[in-house]
Chains A and B, each alone.
Chain A
Amino acid sequence: MKKKVLVPYLYIIPGLFMVLFFVYIPVVSNFIYSFFRLSSYSAEKIFVGFENYIKLFTDEVFLIMIRNNIYYAVISLIVQVGIGTMLAILIESKYSGKFRNLYRNIYFIPALISLTAVGLLFKFVYSPDIGLLNSALRFLNLDGLTHAWLGESKLAIFCVIAMSQWQFTGYITVLMVVAVQNIPKEYLEAAEIDGAGPIKKVINVMLPLVKEQLLVCSIITIIGAFKLFTEIYTTTSGGPGNSSQVLGVYLYQNAFLHDDMGLAAATGVLIFIITVGISIIQINAAKSGEV
């Protein structure tokens, strides 16, 4: 009988061990590291209390980073989630015709391309001389609208944000299409019988019925906005100057360029608090709708 009690644990141990050792332990260590000054090349650790956090919050780049991450979150919510959902509703409407799946696939394809490839591609697209954007503008005789895009302090971050909207709006559309498909037909028919026009149908009937999925999409989008790294790293590295800096890239640069792993760890803790906070909201919201 003793054997039987142990057996389930045998199934659990490999997976549990991996998660504990390679996920939990590093995250806990990160907390500890954030209170020390340490470097990547030596094992030396000097306890410095909250110094890393003070450095982080008083760094003149701090507000720029938070602002950029927030811009990212807000714009992604409006475009990816907002427009993505609208697209889903349009695609699933009776007016879309027989090519609806083709359209859906086309919008989705960018999401399958590696972030690195997209970053490198768009670095080209935004190139002032030969890039697609300026070339197209000149072709349409809109020379006045050409810009230096990634080279302009005020535009750089928005150019990267735009790149992400191109890449992921279709992804959200696909998720929402499934949610819309799952709306029981009776509700829609009932609304029609009640004389509701298309707009009323969408706002009063469809949106509330997909609200769980909407919430999930919104949460992943916001979390993604704060975990941001590859998009910026492959295009601007935070430049020009510091104008497109974000938390993720700041963490990486401090850990591996400036050899200040303590500060990087503190940044990690901040990212942790923000993303876990949002995740908790997600889990609670998902629970409330759980069947």
Chain B
Amino acid sequence: MDISDEFYNDEEWSSSLLLSQVNEYRDGDVLYGLPFRLDAKMFFYNIDIFNELGLEVPETWDEFIQVCETLKQNGITPIAYGNQDQWPSSHYIGSINQMVVNNETRLKDLEPSTGEFTDPNYVLALDYYQQLIPYFNDSPNAYSHDMARNIFSQENAAMIYAELVEIPYIKEENPDLNYGMFGFPLIEGEGDPTLLTGSPEGFVISANTKYPEEAIDFLKYLTGPEVGKQEVQEVGWFNAGKGIVDGLEDQKLLEAYEILEGAEKMAGWFDSSLYSTVCNEYLIVTSVLTNGEMTPEEAMSKIQKVAQEAQTLVQDTEDN
């Protein structure tokens, strides 16, 4: 159900939510839902370890590699990474793609009917990913993402690329952990560095509902600041309500909220943005590449093949 009229015309309503997050539920002029759980991906880092080695939070890719190198030379695993379930790699690749691939090209390729993935920057993105491999724990494919996060929480690794919604989990795993967050290091490229990797989950109202007014009222309540305050205090997650962190003491959550507040545009999750067969291929080749058994060029040529097939598949379904 399109609620754009109800939402945008109601100033009180539309000013109570973070519009950058609401926009994730827009398709053209249609607003079809509202966010219930915001999320974004950041690098979490162990402040104590950084301080011990006199490290500063890296901002560019080169600074980041330097930090990793220092950590490794001091016998500390730089990045905890568990790719057993294959989707974590898509967050790395997605974030790098955002920065090195021209945004229009990237968006065109995400569409199965026009997706080609022939831009050489995709290969470049995998090259960057490969640069990180020596700084991951050994055999990332043998660990699940949760296991990797536990490794980070138990202070056996200095950093992890994780989602903001995992803050409550880290708290459970090690409440005393002194950690902070920073965004994916900047890579100079043809893409758009202002995009934040992530996307909210939310609720939509069926167009066939028999109770549109009640549904809208409920959605307004559920995704609004009042529930948001409860959500953040009891579960540690945010909805798009403004001011929901007033009075919150948890430093990490406050930091996380600031990041989301400051985001101009979200870039979505790479794996859910891709067409299923293309996504499958991307995950598989990256998994093999992570084991050092495939080159970026080989990986992309496989993806290009599947993208071509996807084009015909989608076309046939449309024709019929």
B138-149: CB near A (< 8 Å → 1, else 0) gives 111111100100
Chain A residues with CB under 8 Å of B291's CB are 151-153, 240-241
Complex: A169 Cα to B84 Cα, angstroms: 28
Instruction: Give, as a whole number of angstroms, the nearest-CB distance from B285 to chain A.
Output: 7
User: Cβ of B287 < 8 Å from any Cβ of A?
Assistant: yes
B84 touches A239 (CB 8 A): yes
Chain B residues with CB under 8 Å of A44's CB are 320
Chain A residues with CB under 8 Å of B284's CB are 239, 241-242
User: Cβ of A150 < 8 Å from any Cβ of B?
Assistant: yes
A240 touches B287 (CB 8 A): yes
Chain A residues with CB under 8 Å of B140's CB are 151
Chain B residues with CB under 8 Å of A151's CB are 84, 139-143, 291
Instruction: Give, as a whole number of angstroms, the nearest-CB distance from A125 to chain B.
Output: 12
Contacts known (A242-B284, A258-B276); A129 close to B139, Cβ less than 8 A: no
Complex: A37 Cα to B315 Cα, angstroms: 13
Instruction: Give, as a whole number of angstroms, the nearest-CB distance from A171 to chain B.
Output: 29
* Among A152, A240, A253: residue with most chain B CB under 10 A: A240
User: Cβ of A127 < 8 Å from any Cβ of B?
Assistant: yes
Chain B residues with CB under 8 Å of A259's CB are 276
Chain B residues with CB under 8 Å of A150's CB are 84, 141-142
B256-293: CB near A (< 8 Å → 1, else 0) gives 00000000000000000000110010001101101101
Chain A residues with CB under 8 Å of B85's CB are 237
User: Cβ of A257 < 8 Å from any Cβ of B?
Assistant: yes
A239 touches B142 (CB 8 A): no
Residue of B nearest to A260 (CB): B277
Complex: A236 Cα to B84 Cα, angstroms: 7
B141 touches A148 (CB 8 A): yes
A128 touches B142 (CB 8 A): yes
Residue of A nearest to B280 (CB): A258
Residue of B nearest to A129 (CB): B151
B147 touches A127 (CB 8 A): yes
Chain B residues with CB under 8 Å of A253's CB are 280
Instruction: Give, as a whole number of angstroms, the nearest-CB distance from A69 to chain B.
Output: 19
A153 touches B139 (CB 8 A): no
User: Cβ of B95 < 8 Å from any Cβ of A?
Assistant: no
Contact with A257, one of B138, B144, B156, B276 (Cβ below 8 angstroms): B276
Contacts known (A241-B284, A258-B280); A153 close to B293, Cβ less than 8 A: yes
Contacts known (A127-B143, A257-B280); A241 close to B287, Cβ less than 8 A: yes
For window 105-147 of chain A, which residues contact chain B by CB distance below 8 Å?
123, 126-129
Residue of A nearest to B142 (CB): A151
* Among A37, A152, A241: residue with most chain B CB under 10 A: A241
Residue of B nearest to A37 (CB): B316
Q: How many residues on chain B are close to A (CB under 8 Å)?
A: 25
Contact with B316, one of A46, A149, A239, A240 (Cβ below 8 angstroms): A46
Chain A residues with CB under 8 Å of B147's CB are 127, 129
B86 touches A239 (CB 8 A): yes
Chain B residues with CB under 8 Å of A129's CB are 143, 147, 151, 156
A152 touches B139 (CB 8 A): yes
B287 touches A239 (CB 8 A): yes
Chain A residues with CB under 8 Å of B276's CB are 257-259
B142 touches A149 (CB 8 A): yes
Complex: A153 Cα to B284 Cα, angstroms: 12
Instruction: Give, as a whole number of angstroms, the nearest-CB distance from B169 to chain A.
Output: 17
Instruction: Give, as a whole number of angstroms, the nearest-CB distance from B30 to chain A.
Output: 21
Residue of B nearest to A155 (CB): B142
For window 253-278 of chain A, which residues contact chain B by CB distance below 8 Å?
253, 257-259
Instruction: Give, as a whole number of angstroms, the nearest-CB distance from A217 to chain B.
Output: 33
Chain A residues with CB under 8 Å of B144's CB are 123
Chain A residues with CB under 8 Å of B290's CB are 240
B139 touches A128 (CB 8 A): yes
Instruction: Give, as a whole number of angstroms, the nearest-CB distance from A53 to chain B.
Output: 16
Instruction: Give, as a whole number of angstroms, the nearest-CB distance from B306 to chain A.
Output: 11
Complex: A153 Cα to B143 Cα, angstroms: 14
Instruction: Give, as a whole number of angstroms, the nearest-CB distance from A64 to chain B.
Output: 11
* Among B142, B144, B284: residue with most chain A CB under 10 A: B142
Chain A residues with CB under 8 Å of B287's CB are 239-241
Complex: A253 Cα to B279 Cα, angstroms: 13
For window 150-164 of chain A, which residues contact chain B by CB distance below 8 Å?
150-153
Chain B residues with CB under 8 Å of A37's CB are 316
Residue of B nearest to A134 (CB): B142
Instruction: Give, as a whole number of angstroms, the nearest-CB distance from B319 to chain A.
Output: 9
What are 17 A-B contacts with C-beta separation under 8 Å?
A: A46-B316, A126-B142, A128-B142, A129-B151, A148-B139, A150-B141, A151-B141, A152-B141, A152-B142, A153-B288, A153-B291, A239-B84, A239-B284, A240-B291, A241-B285, A241-B287, A257-B280
Which 4 residue pairs of A and B lie closest in terms of their CB atoms, listed nearest first?
A151-B142, A148-B139, A241-B288, A151-B141
Q: Which residues of A contact B (CB under 8 A)?
A: 37, 44, 46, 123, 126-129, 148-153, 236-237, 239-242, 253, 257-259
